[in-house]
Each structure stands twice: as C-alpha cells, then as structure tokens.
Amino acid sequence: MGKYIGIDLGTTFSCMAYINESGQPEMIPNSEGENTTPSAVLFDGDSTIVGREAKSQSLFEPQNFEQFVKRHMGERDYLFTTKDGDKYSPEAISAIILAKMKSDAESYLGDTVDGAVITVPAYFNEAQRKSTMDAGKIAGLEVIAIINEPTAAALAFGISKGSDKPQTIMVYDLGGGTFDVTVMRFDSENITVLGTAGDRKLGGYDFDNKIIEAVIEVASEDGLDINKDMTARQDLQLKAEAAKKSLSAKDKTNITLNISGRPFKYTITREDFVDMVEPLLFKTIGSMENACDEAGLEYSDLDKILLVGGSTRMPVVRDCIKEETGIAPSSEVHPDEAVAIGAAYHALDVLKDMQKKAKQSGDTSSEVFDVEIPETSRQYTFTDVTSHGIGVIIQNEYGEEENSVILPKNVQVPAEHTNHYTTTVPYQEKLLIRVTQGEETDLRYVTEIGTAEIQISPREKIVGIEVTISCDENSIIHVRVYDKDLRQDLGEMHIDRVSNLSDEEVKQSQMRISKLDISGE
C-alpha cells in the first residue's frame, strides 16, 4: 500500500508533506534531515547532486550548476548545458529534483510513493503546467493532480485555522521566482477563487538581482568585471541572497568577494535595499489591484491578507502591503510549508474521487482501494479559475490574423465555452487551429500554446464550424470541433504543443534520468 504526497516544487526551495493516519499533516524531511530542499542541481562527474550540497559546491563547478529552472518551465528552446556539453531541458532538471525528493520520501515513510499532487503558481500558463506534469512523469511519479499554490495554501489555512464564519481572504504568494495574488471566499465547506493576478518571473531571485546589479556597477568603477570571473559571479549570487536575508534583521551588511584575485567589499544598508527593490514592490501592488478588480472588491472588503512564500519574510514586503491596504498581513501559516501541506490535503480528495470512479465503473480490483484515506478535522471543496484567456488565432474581416478569446480569464474550472467561426475559402480541405493564451486581440501580447490540424470535407461554399475549448481541473486545455454544415462532431483534436516535450522526448528523458546517480551529498 503506497503513499500519496503533496509536493511544492519551488524555484529556490522545494518541500513535501503527507497526511498521517490521524489526519494530521506532516512535513517529509529530505535525507539530510531538512524540511526544505534547495531546487539546485550540480553535475559532478558520474554523480548528480541535488539540494544544499549542490549549492555549496557550486563555487567549484559553476558551469555545471543549475538553479531557478522553474522560471524556464514551458520554454521549449531553453536547455541547460554542462561544461562537457550535455544538455538538459527544464523538465529534465526538475525531474532530477523530483526524483531525489521521491527517493527521500520513500526512505522516510518506509513505503513507495505511488502518486503526488504537485503545486504550480496560479499564473502559470498551460505550457508550464504541462511541463510540470511531464517533469513528474520523467521522475517516475504519477502526478494525480496539479493545484495552484495559493489555493493549496488556502486549503492548509482553512483546515488548520478556518471557521464557520464566511471570510474573504487575499493570498499574497511571493516565492523565490514567481509571484501570485489570489482573492478567495471561504465559508464552512467551500473555497471559491474570485480573482487572480501575478507575474511568473517575479520573486526573491529578482530582489537578489537588484543587489547583484549594484555590486557589479560599483565593482566596475574599480576596474573589476565580475561577469568575467564565473566563480566570483556565482559567489555573488549566493552572497546577495544571504545579504537580503541578513537585512531582514540588521540595518546593514557586507558582501566580500575575490574577483580575479583581487579582494572587494560592498556595504549595503536596509535603506539602500528598500530603494533598490521599490519597482518590484510596485509590481506586486499592481497585481493586488488587478486581483481585487477581477473579484469586484475593494481592499476594505478583505478580512485577511495571508502571506505565503519565503520572500514574504522580508520586512519591506510586509510594510508595503500594510501601507497599500491598511491591513496588517497575517503569518498564520508557515510560509515555506503551507503549500506542500495543502497539496497533501488535496491528494486525499483526489484519491477519494479516484476510488469513487473506480467503484462506479465496477473496477473493484483497482489499487486505489488499497489506500486508506484518513479523515481530516475539516473538509473543503474548492473552485479555481482560469488565470488566462484561452482562444484561437483567426482571420478578421480585413484578412489580418488576430486572437479570438473563447474561454475568458477568471472563469471557474473545469469549464467549457464554444465560439462560432467559418472556413476561410471554398473547397477548404483542412482546418489549422492555433490555440492561444492571453486576453488581447493583438498577437504580440498572447502566447501560442500549440496547433491542431484536421481534415474536413471540401465544399464549394464557406461553411460554419464551432470550436469548443475546455479546461480541466488541472487547467490543461482540450479542443473539439463541430462541422455545422454536415452536423458532424469532428472530435477532440490533438494539440501539438509548441512549448512542450513530445511523448517520445518524455520517454527518452525518463530513461536518461533513471540512469543517473542522484544524491544530496
């Protein structure tokens, strides 16, 4: 009888949790005895090191060290290349991290990990969600569901500290590499997402980079080029992160480096840091306003602002939120652990649903019946929303290509919407559907997810077609086409996802990663 766990696959740190037999959440420590694992990979000869040790050894092998790969999920052209020329996709690097976590979890639990719920930023697009699921598959994990990070945190909060009194809560989730703000409504049994906004490339990493940019500029005035010394550059990356954390408790701190054999010292005060990061804080405020606008609410309608993500430990973040909203943000959940715990709770719900479906189908031999599902103190159902509009590229009346949204942003999922179109020329023999994410008509401001092509019966006239786009519980997109002239359902179309690995590439990566010697030390 295997275990089902929740995994927070983070940009800078990852962690995992499960629900014990008493219905209580427990963090699963890694093999080093720590609840969080740095999302860092070092390729060291025949071995592949993951976590804290990889980070500490990165100064010796900076060219073989990869971190922050979550920011590249869904980017088809991004490949990490080692010093020896070996290339790894973002999915493969993430799979290496997940494989280490799976192994550590099995050692700690004394049982196999049969499945996992993995979290993603609410503002991840479909390509990034699919990449995350592919990473799990490459690591040998059955990903039974994907859940948005703010929703997972809200689930953890609701079960541990919720009340029967209805509440409207904003979850401010600032992690190492991504930022989400989500407005939700709680009652005694339901969590409903009302609005979401964010930036998939805004997080603690960017706060570090503000320090890095300042150090590089001052060093260059002394005739030192840090970017030409890879060891010094990696040392600066680590020390900028440490300086940021230090300034949460101290008024000033020093960064000392050895750049091409010359010593260098940089002093930064908390006031300097606040000035540096002000533009980043303004970005988060913009997202807060957008999420409230989508929910049709004012800040005064909020009962609580819940902080999630390690970067919310910075006093400047808390001060900014209070100044903007007049509400002192709450730290009632552990910023690093709440998301994994929420994912673990969701794993129980998914398992119950799997057992129910297996029973309805008469499949009483299904392995899911071997799993005992503990009862928790509270149970919630939750309703999430689409974080982006989903549509197709069409030709307008002037013969120009533009985006046509079919499934709008902020619609509760699972969802399905249909739009009516026509073929473009008589005797047309095939339809090329180009699926997009984004709200704008202008193609420069949308992302093309992929294409789907299907043959149709040629006719001498322009004919009407219906395109139906659905978004499932994991926010994965499906497309169906209906021929109105022939009254014929052409079925679900296979989307060739331009930003994702093919099925064959996933299999090849799975074989490759399974042969690596992966460890944390």
Tell whether the model's pLDDT for residue 366 goes beyond 70.
no
The region of weakest confidence among 102-111, 183-192, 278-287, 373-382 is 373-382
pLDDT surpasses 90 at 302: yes
pLDDT score at 83: 92
b (16+ CB within 10 A) / e for 353-375: ebeeebeeeeeeeeebeebeeee
Helix 338-360 crosses helix 149-161 at what angle (to 10 degrees)? 90
Average pLDDT of span 168-183: 94
pLDDT of residue 370: 67
Burial of 423-432, coded b for 16+ CB within 10 Å and e otherwise, reads beeeebeebe
Is the Cβ–Cβ distance between 98 and 139 less than 8 Å? yes
Q: What is the pLDDT of residue 235?
A: 94
Q: How confident is the model at residue 364 (pLDDT cuts 50, 70, 90)?
A: low
Mean pLDDT, rounded, for 64-88: 93
Q: Does domain 386-486 have CATH number 1.10.10.10?
A: no
Checking if the pLDDT of 332 tops 90, the result is: no
377 or 240, greater pLDDT: 240
| Confidence label for 369 from pLDDT (cuts 50, 70 and 90) | low
Do 311 and 241 form a contact (C-beta atoms < 8 A)? Answer: no
Segment 125-142, tens digit of pLDDT: 888 999 999 999 999 999
> What integer pLDDT is reported at residue 356 of this predicted model?
80
Instruction: State whether the Cα torsion 364-3-95-343 is positive or negative.
Output: positive
Helices (H), ranges, 370-520: 503-514
Please write the tens of the pLDDT for every residue from 424-460: 899 999 989 999 999 999 999 998 888 988 889 999 9
Is the pLDDT confidence value at 473 over 80? yes
Per-residue pLDDT for 288 more than 70? yes
Q: Report whether pLDDT(88) > 90.
A: yes
pLDDT of 188 higher than 90: no
**How large is the average pLDDT for residues 170-184?**
94
Confidence band for 34, pLDDT divided at 50, 70 and 90: very high
What distance in Å separates the CA atoms of residue 118 and residue 228, rounded to the nearest whole number? Answer: 38
Q: Which fold is adopted by the domain 3-162+335-383+505-519?
A: Nucleotidyltransferase; domain 5 (3.30.420)
Is a pLDDT exceeding 90 seen at residue 316? yes
The stretch 349-362 carries a mean pLDDT of 80
Q: Provide the token pair at 83.
A: 């010093």
Q: Tell me: the pLDDT tens digits for 375-428?
A: 777 788 888 888 889 999 998 888 899 999 999 988 888 999 999 999 989 999
pLDDT for residue 118 is more than 70: yes
Q: Is 481 left (phi over 0), alpha (psi -120 to 50) or beta?
A: beta
Give residue limits of the domains in the chain: 3-162+335-383+505-519, 204-274, 386-486
Burial of 327 (0-12, 13-18, 19+ CB in 10 A): middle
d(CA 341, CA 20): 11
**What mean pLDDT do residues 238-258 have?**
94
Percent of the chain with pLDDT over 90: 71
Task: Give which of 431, 436, 433 is closest to 446, Cα–Cα.
Answer: 436
Q: What mean pLDDT, rounded, does the chain reach?
A: 91
Q: 80, 69 in Cβ contact below 8 A? A: yes
Which pLDDT band, with edges at 50, 70 and 90, does 161 fall under? confident
- Burial level of 182, CB count in 10 A (0-12/13-18/19+)? buried
| Per-residue pLDDT band at 355 (split at 50, 70, 90) | confident
**Topology (CATH) of 204-274:** Actin; Chain A, domain 4 (3.90.640)
Mean pLDDT computed over 331-335: 88
Look at strands 25-27 and 13-19 and give their pairing: antiparallel
Q: Note the Cα 164 to chain centre separation in Å.
A: 30
pLDDT at 482 over 90: yes
Q: Is 33 left (phi over 0), alpha (psi -120 to 50) or beta?
A: left
Higher pLDDT: 466 or 383? It is: 466
Q: What is the pLDDT of residue 357?
A: 78
N- to C-terminal Cα separation, the chain: 30
What residue has token string 């030709």?
Answer: 395
Higher pLDDT, 9 or 46: 9
